[in-house]
Amino acid sequence: MQPFELHQPATLDEVFALLEAEPDETHLMAGGTSLMLLLQLGLVEPKRVVALRRLDGNLRAIRRVPDGGLEVGALASHRQAELSDEVQAYCPALAATFGHVATVRIRNQATVGGNLAHADPAQDPPPMLIALGASVAVQSRSGQRSLPLEDLFVDYLTTTLQPGEVLTSIRLPALAPGTRATYEKFLPRTQDDYATVSVAASLRLDADGRCQDVRVALGGVAGVPLLARPVADALRGQTLTDARVAEAAALVTDLVDPPDDARGSPAYKRRMARVWTERALRRLRDADGAQP
Amino acid sequence: MSQPLSSVETPAVGLHTLRFELNGAPREVQVPGHRRLIDLLRDDLGLTGTKEGCSVGVCGACSVLVDDQVVSACLLPAAYVDGARVVTIEGLAPDDAHLSPLQDAFIRHGGFQCGICTPGQIITATALLRQHPHPSAEQVKAWMMGNLCRCTGYYKIVDSVLAAAEMGTTPVPREAVGITTD
């Protein structure tokens, strides 16, 4: 590993100052699980690493917001999110999704915001967060902006974060009563593996059982976690018969562009993306009650 | 107490002074910012019980406790333990004449063969039993799946952890499992 200077500032202002000094030579590190890998592999060789662990505890807080939504500080660990009463009360499927990431040991260390900023499209939380309509708050010296999570991702390990910006929190909207959600992780190898493909979905039916609202997002199938808008468009307002669900799920076939790796060929993953999208939608349609 | 320093590769890289608790004793060391915790423990402090396996956070051989949480020492900058309480496999038994219940149970129940993964297995199981003194077999599997073993087939690891949970927290004399202390 190439030596680097490590800075551990206590305030965001100090972080911004360090980022401004030499933006191309500076990387931010939260839990370290991803950046330490990239550093050891020589994939990044910054002069300077800015550790965020000493920043204000608010950045690791998880809280409900008054409108019924949820705010997760970027430095909250996956383990913290998995076990959080607030996350559980907001949406049990989201808590379960955090629990699907790697192992207890990695979840202790890896942070929710670090995961998103790392932008690995095979990760578990991004599709679930996108399916629930999450946005991220980003701060810089010049202020704050917010963007839908799906707009954060550009490609493998590449985001729309600009030099000098820090992702500070993840915000989830209040879920309309009756919203159901699920995260389906296809894991044919080992329990701690990345998904071969994964599908997250949220669904709300009206009183007549028609689809009032639906969002479907996939992981491991492209350079980014993929929001499958055509699937939602095909289902909104419809009665979710088996045939209609199958037809809508088949639309992911042309949306995905899966990588060829040890988990399977692109053709195989494309089929699995369709199969697991169909399963996720049927599971939500058939779920008892309104618990998300 | 001052410890041997790791060499500084380039003069531009500053040293960090860390004060932390290691296996119950206060330590003060200086490390460059890019030093990993695994290297501080093994190379600087001579605590070679913690093993380095995959170096990418997958195998669990380098598991240590930082403030009671199990973490991968290969993925943690040493500077992150400043102010923390660190426990390695060397710190689980109170003295040379005793074993922790988990160490005893791993011996009695065949929880290891070659032994290289064992420090990480026992550290993870220690964190588990502190949070869940009477875990179910499913809980044991969910926690231990991050510690790979190529010898035991895992069943005996699960048996060992469940057996240790029955033993409580009182250290066991080494002689009880036939280990003599010189």
pLDDT above 90 as % of chain A: 95
For residue B179, pLDDT over 80 is answered with: no
Instruction: Tokens for A180, please give them.
Output: 């159901």
Among B59, B91, B123, the domain boundary falls at B91
**Cβ contacts of A7 on chain B, cutoff 8 Å:** 33
| Facing residue for A109 by CB, picked from B60, B71, B142 | B71
State whether B13 and A2 contact (CB < 8 Å).
no
Report the run of H or E that residue B159 belongs to, with start and end: helix B155-167
**Given this model, what pLDDT does residue A290 score?**
47
Mutate to test the interface with A, among B16, B59, B70, B81 (most CBs of A within 10 A): B70
On whether both B41 and B19 belong to a single domain, the answer is yes
Rounded Cα distance between A133 and A215, Å, is: 8
CATH of the domain at B56: 3.10.20.30
DSSP conformation letters of A45-105: --SEEEE-TTS-GGGG-EEE-TTS-EEEETT-BHHHHHH-HHHHHH-HHHHHHHHTSS-HH
Among B75, B91, B107, the domain boundary falls at B91
CB B46 within 8 A of CB B21: no
Query: Which mean pLDDT values do the consecutive 10-residue runs of chain A (292 residues) have?
Result: 95 97 95 96 96 94 97 98 98 98 98 98 97 98 97 98 97 96 93 93 96 98 98 98 98 97 96 98 85 49
User: For the whole model, what pTM was predicted?
Assistant: 0.94
**Given this model, what pLDDT does residue B175 score?**
86
State whether A104 and B16 contact (CB < 8 Å).
no
Q: Give chain B's mean pLDDT.
A: 92
CA B20 to the chain's CA centroid: 16
- C-alpha distances (whole Å) from B16 to each of A256, B6, B42 are 47, 11, 18
Comparing C-alpha atoms, which of A121, A161, A158 is closest to residue A139? A161
State whether A106 and B77 contact (CB < 8 Å).
no
Instruction: Tokens for A214, please give them.
Output: 């639906």
Could you please state the CATH topology (level 3) that the domain comprising A181-286 is classified under: Enolase-like; domain 1 (3.30.390)
Kindly state whether A102 is in contact with chain B, defined as any CB-CB distance less than 8 angstroms. Answer: yes
Q: Is residue B133 in a domain?
A: yes
Q: How far is B110 from chain A (nearest CA, A)?
A: 24
Mutate to test the interface with B, among A2, A4, A5, A6 (most CBs of B within 10 A): A6
Mutate to test the interface with A, among B56, B67, B72, B147 (most CBs of A within 10 A): B72
CB A181 within 8 A of CB A201: yes
State whether B72 and A192 contact (CB < 8 Å).
no
DSSP category for residue A141: T
A139-148's contacts with Cβ under 8 Å and 24+ in sequence apart are A139/A12, A139/A165, A139/A166, A139/A168, A140/A16, A140/A164, A140/A165, A140/A166, A141/A13, A141/A16, A141/A20, A144/A168, A146/A171
**Cβ contacts of A105 on chain B, cutoff 8 Å:** 57, 60, 63, 70-72, 124, 146
DSSP conformation letters of B18-78: EEEEETTEEEEEEEETT-BHHHIIIIIS--TTS---SSSSSS-TTEEEETTEEEETTSSBG
On whether both B107 and B36 belong to a single domain, the answer is no
Q: How far is A89 from chain B (nearest CA, A)?
A: 22
Instruction: Tokens for A201, please give them.
Output: 């979905």
**Cβ contacts of B56 on chain A, cutoff 8 Å:** 37, 40
| ipTM score of complex | 0.93
CATH no. of A57-172: 3.30.465.10
For residue B8, pLDDT over 60 is answered with: no
Summarised one tens digit per residue, pLDDT across range B12-44 is 458 999 999 999 999 999 999 999 999 999 999
**Given this model, what pLDDT does residue B4 score?**
45
DSSP category for residue A250: H
Domain boundaries, given as residue ranges, for chain A: 5-51, 57-172, 181-286
Rounded Cα distance between B171 and A217, Å, is: 51
Report the run of H or E that residue A108 belongs to, with start and end: helix A104-109
CATH of the domain at B158: 1.10.150.120
**Given this model, what pLDDT does residue B12 score?**
44
| Count: domains in chain B | 2
Provide φ and ψ at A79, rounded to 5°: -65, -45
Mean pLDDT of all residues in B102-126: 97
Q: Is residue B2 in a domain?
A: no
State whether B76 and A40 contact (CB < 8 Å).
no
Rounded Cα distance between A170 and A191, Å, is: 27
CB A77 within 8 A of CB A92: no
From the number of C-beta atoms within 10 Å of its C-beta (0-12, 13-18, 19+), residue B1 rates as exposed
Q: Under DSSP, is residue A21 helix (H, G, I), strand (E, B) or coil? A: helix
CA B114 to the chain's CA centroid: 17
From the number of C-beta atoms within 10 Å of its C-beta (0-12, 13-18, 19+), residue B90 rates as middle
Summarised one tens digit per residue, pLDDT across range B44-100 is 999 999 999 999 999 999 999 999 999 999 999 999 999 999 999 999 999 999 999
3-state secondary structure B107-140: HHCCCCCCCCCHHHHHHHHHHHHHHCCCCCHHHH
Q: Is residue B150 in a domain?
A: yes
Asked if A5-51 and A181-286 have one fold, the answer is no
Q: How far is B163 from chain A (nearest CA, A)?
A: 21
**Cβ contacts of B10 on chain A, cutoff 8 Å:** 3
Rounded Cα distance between A216 and A128, Å, is: 9
Rounded Cα distance between B24 and B12, Å, is: 34
Q: How far is B148 from chain A (nearest CA, A)?
A: 11
Among B91, B115, B136, the domain boundary falls at B91
Q: Chains A and B: how many Cβ contacts under 8 Å? A: 86
Q: How far is B179 from chain A (nearest CA, A)?
A: 31
CA angle A23–A28–A33, rounded 5-degree value = 145
**Given this model, what pLDDT does residue A288 score?**
73
Query: In which domain, by residue range, is B155 found?
Result: 98-177
What are the residues facing B66 on neighbouring strands? B69, B86
On whether both B30 and B87 belong to a single domain, the answer is yes
Rounded Cα distance between A252 and A174, Å, is: 27
Rounded Cα distance between A121 and A263, Å, is: 14
Choose which CATH entry (3.30.43, 3.30.1920, 3.40.50, 3.30.70) describes domain A5-51.
Answer: 3.30.43
**Cβ contacts of A79 on chain B, cutoff 8 Å:** 69
